[in-house]
Structure 1
Amino acid sequence: MITFAPGPSKVFDQVGQYLQDAFQTGILSANHRSAAFMNLYQETETLFKEKLHVPEDYKLLFTSSATENWEIIAQSIVESSSFHIYSGSFGKKWYTFAQHLNEATGSHKLGTEDALDVAGLEIDGKHDLIAITQNETSNATEVSQELLGALGEKYPDKMIAVDTTSSMGGIALDFSLADIWFASVQKCFGLPAGLGVLILSPKAIAKCESKGESGRYNSLSFMLENAKIYQTHYTPNVLGVYLLKRSMEDHPEIQVTDALVRKRMKELETVIAQSKKLTMLVQNSETRSKTVMGIAGEELFIKEFKKAAEQAGMQMGSGYGPLKPTSFRIANFPAITEQEFENLLKFLKEY
């Protein structure tokens, strides 16, 4: 059974070998204060800069998940309050989580077909950080990097944090457009769940140091203090870091992956556009995700389609929340092989 669910999603086929190698090398027993782990950390950060084109002066940190980063940002970087821009369930969860910690948190909800109107957006001066979900897994929408850039130009004095949970590692991101980026590895990175990544600009690091928040399990100041010497604040997911490092070594630079992901999405869009019973969940190409395809149809047909797909050895991702009965999602992630993708297209055309 091949899963096309958008997370946890299909892992790269090489992961089985990586797991055996991890055991054989002894890294699974390595102390996180040891030279072996410190080298692993440094090599992984270097790969992020080489393969994903993260700026040289940005810092990579490891967390338990993308969700943990919501708390880290709220407690260690936000000084007055944050302002959240979102279109779907995960962006809303980030907003409500921050609001629970700080009642002054503000928000702006986008419609799934509505591109962010940067010119018409007004963010109060009391909000010192803008939190934006670049790729919304729940409803297959995205905010373009052009709009992220425009947002930064309009509000140069505000910190910008970007959730790229289901796009980092799949599409080319211009990390210079924001100060804080985060993701989890179980989506475009094609790895088992259990590891989050957090990328910080020098501006974000300075803001953390200025705020001086400390004393919690995941206080960012504590994490950064250890990261200076390529250690972690507490015992990390060493296996997850090892798998990330090995996978990034074996895969091309992000522009190659980006081209593949965009080509496949165009092919998917063409097939769905020709279907008489299925439509794209997001009609506006400017707000449609490149890494998650949302597909809609009548409830009975969707149920029958998903059942038939499973009989053919393919598991579709269910629609999220209220969209579940009338939609399904397809992960357009790099771990899907060419043959698996061709089988998917053939099934979509024939059913």
Structure 2
Amino acid sequence: MLRLTSSRFLAFAHKQPTFLPRVSVRMMSMAPPAAKPVNPEFSSGPCKKRPGYNVDALDKRILGRSHRSKIGKERLALAIDESKRILGLPDDYLLGIVPASDTGAYEMAMWNMLGARNVDICYWESFGKGWYGDAVSHLKLKDLVEVNEFSADYGQLPDLSKTNPDHDICFTFNGTTSGVRVPDGCDFISDDRKGLTFCDATSACFAMDMPWEKLDVTTYSWQKVLGGEGGHGVLILSPRAVERLETYVPENRPLPKIFRMTKKGKVDTSIFKGSTINTPSMLAVEDYIDALQWADSIGGVPGLKKLSLNNLAVIEKFVAENDWIDFLAKDPAIRSSTSVCCTLDLTAEQIKAFVSLLEKEGVALDIGGYRDAPPSIRIWCGSTVEQADVEALMPWLKWAYHQVKA
């Protein structure tokens, strides 16, 4: 039997400096972190409610009342007016509440206005690709005008500078399923453009600076940055978009009732004052008003933007410190601060296990990447998510990685 004296043992240990530390690190990686996020809701839509939210605080006077009643119209008008004020819309822009979330709002705009000019459709994630598919397959725009496709893989942007200012341009401000946004300022859009811009801004409005002078048609939903309820969309029109509505009538294109925005050749301005096309949920309206009041209380868009950027900074620091995780959007200039998408040094099946493990532990709900995206995770870092919860989540990501990778 080999015997080691104390001095020989110390000499042996000294020659093996990596043995004991590796065992120690391995053992530490098996222990779950002590603290959990107070709120594990990191879904990218519907998104977490605002901090301190309580349904009992909602104004209930409208419940059971008609949206056509005096109070119904007043509350809808309040939601519209406060949205315009907080977003800083120009006075001559219109904002209306429409059916079917952001999807309904964007489809409404496409069905009413596309076809008057050649169109450039830009996409780099699933929803933008869907707009292209609808334009070609359902609106059949290629039978009417030239349709140009500008696309890029997940995590990248196409060369937007190649779009034509004489054409209508369709694009997504922030790709919720790819974590890629257009650069600040939208400089690819000409101030002297002849065409209209159609901007899907559902996960950008309220958390990012919107260059309204560049945007003619803008859509979003309450369920993203403000954490409102689903089912309702918002449609914003510039004067140029209103002119298109009043001068262009698509031929042989039936418009469902919930898509119709004009009467006798003029835009139906009542839609943009609170007379919705169909019956809205007044409970959802009150929930939205509550979110707007909260947004106003923390400084409006600048305050909301700061919260989202702070959340992103937490993940950026974590990614910089760990080589097994990276952003789907490598370029920080086009990286979303709301729908943060990350790839992992794991297989697709391991990522599913990773997501399930975090959900089982009650620390992160609904963070799996979108089904059409590359294998990834998606952490909502919009303004209603608190920075302390993002910070608490990071050690759990590391723990789950080592559990699944073992």
TM-score normalised to structure 2 length: 0.77
Q: Residue 246 of structure 1: CA displacement?
A: 1.8
Identify the match of residue 140 of structure 2 among 102, 107, 118.
Answer: 102
- Give the equivalent residue in structure 2 for 1:188: 225
- Give the equivalent residue in structure 1 for 2:365: 315
Q: Residue 194 of structure 1: CA displacement?
A: 1.2
Q: Is the 8 Å Cα contact of residues 112 and 287 (structure 1) preserved in structure 2?
A: no
Identify the match of residue 179 of structure 1 among 216, 219, 222.
Answer: 216
Q: Which amino acid aligns with 2:48?
A: K
Matches within 5 A, 1:158-169: 158-169=195-206
Q: Is the 8 Å Cα contact of residues 212 and 221 (structure 1) preserved in structure 2?
A: no
Residue ranges of structure 1 left out of the alignment (5+ in a row): none
For 2:179 and 2:272, the matched residues in 1 are separated by 37
- Give the equivalent residue in structure 2 for 1:258: 305
Q: Residue 287 of structure 1: CA displacement?
A: 2.1
Matches within 5 A, 1:32-47: 32-47=67-82
Matches within 5 A, 1:137-156: 137-146=176-185, 148-153=186-191, 156=193
Q: Residue 84 of structure 1: CA displacement?
A: 0.9
For 1:174 and 1:30, the matched residues in 2 are separated by 38
- Using the aligned pairs only, state the percent identity: 23
Q: Is the 8 Å Cα contact of residues 77 and 211 (structure 1) preserved in structure 2?
A: yes
For 1:215 and 1:96, the matched residues in 2 are separated by 18
Identify the match of residue 31 of structure 1 among 60, 66, 75.
Answer: 66
- Give the equivalent residue in structure 2 for 1:209: 246
For 1:29 and 1:55, the matched residues in 2 are separated by 35
- Give the equivalent residue in structure 2 for 1:338: 387
Q: Is the 8 Å Cα contact of residues 191 and 244 (structure 1) preserved in structure 2?
A: yes
- Give the equivalent residue in structure 1 for 2:261: 220
- RMSD, aligned CA: 2.4
3-state DSSP of counterpart to 1:28: coil
Matches within 5 A, 1:295-306: 295-297=342-344, 298-299=346-347, 300-306=349-355
Q: State whether structure 2 residue 249 is matched by structure 1 residue 249.
A: no
Q: Is the 8 Å Cα contact of residues 152 and 178 (structure 1) preserved in structure 2?
A: no
For 1:181 and 1:122, the matched residues in 2 are separated by 18
Q: Is the 8 Å Cα contact of residues 59 and 200 (structure 1) preserved in structure 2?
A: yes
Structure 1 stretch displaced more, 87-96 or 219-228: 219-228
For 1:36 and 1:43, the matched residues in 2 are separated by 10
- Give the equivalent residue in structure 2 for 1:16: 54
Q: Residue 203 of structure 1: CA displacement?
A: 1.4
Q: Residue 229 of structure 1: CA displacement?
A: 4.5
Q: Residue 341 of structure 1: CA displacement?
A: 2.2
Q: Residue 195 of structure 1: CA displacement?
A: 1.3
Q: Which amino acid aligns with 1:98?
A: A
For 1:193 and 1:263, the matched residues in 2 are separated by 26
Matches within 5 A, 1:285-296: 285-296=332-343
Q: Residue 259 of structure 1: CA displacement?
A: 1.4
User: Measured at CA, do residues 343 and 233 of structure 1 come closer, stay the same or move farther in structure 2, by a change above 3 Å?
Assistant: same
Q: Is the 8 Å Cα contact of residues 180 and 200 (structure 1) preserved in structure 2?
A: yes
Identify the match of residue 271 of structure 1 among 318, 321, 325.
Answer: 318
Q: Residue 91 of structure 1: CA displacement?
A: 0.4
For 2:155 and 2:397, the matched residues in 1 are separated by 24
For 1:236 and 1:152, the matched residues in 2 are separated by 36
1:300-333 per-residue CA deviation (whole Å, 9 max, x = no partner) reads: 5423422332233122421123436x31100011
1:206-254 per-residue CA deviation (whole Å, 9 max, x = no partner) reads: 2111125686312122573422553112222322222111210122310
Q: Is the 8 Å Cα contact of residues 132 and 161 (structure 1) preserved in structure 2?
A: yes
User: Measured at CA, do residues 330 and 219 of structure 1 come closer, stay the same or move farther in structure 2, by a change above 3 Å?
Assistant: same
For 1:48 and 1:162, the matched residues in 2 are separated by 17
The structure whose Rg is larger is 2
Q: Which amino acid aligns with 1:262?
A: L
3-state DSSP of counterpart to 2:226: coil
User: Measured at CA, do residues 17 and 277 of structure 1 come closer, stay the same or move farther in structure 2, by a change above 3 Å?
Assistant: same
Q: Which amino acid aligns with 2:256?
A: R
Q: Is the 8 Å Cα contact of residues 337 and 382 (structure 2) preserved in structure 1?
A: no
Q: Is the 8 Å Cα contact of residues 171 and 258 (structure 1) preserved in structure 2?
A: yes
- Give the equivalent residue in structure 1 for 2:6: none
For 1:184 and 1:175, the matched residues in 2 are separated by 17
Q: Residue 124 of structure 1: CA displacement?
A: 8.8
- Give the equivalent residue in structure 1 for 2:24: none
Q: State whether structure 2 residue 111 is matched by structure 1 residue 75.
A: yes
Query: Aligned residue pairs: how many?
Result: 342
Q: Is the 8 Å Cα contact of residues 15 and 191 (structure 1) preserved in structure 2?
A: no
Q: Which amino acid aligns with 2:141?
A: E
- Runs of 4+ aligned residues of structure 1 deviating over 6 Å after TM superposition are none
Structure 1 stretch displaced more, 292-301 or 162-171: 292-301
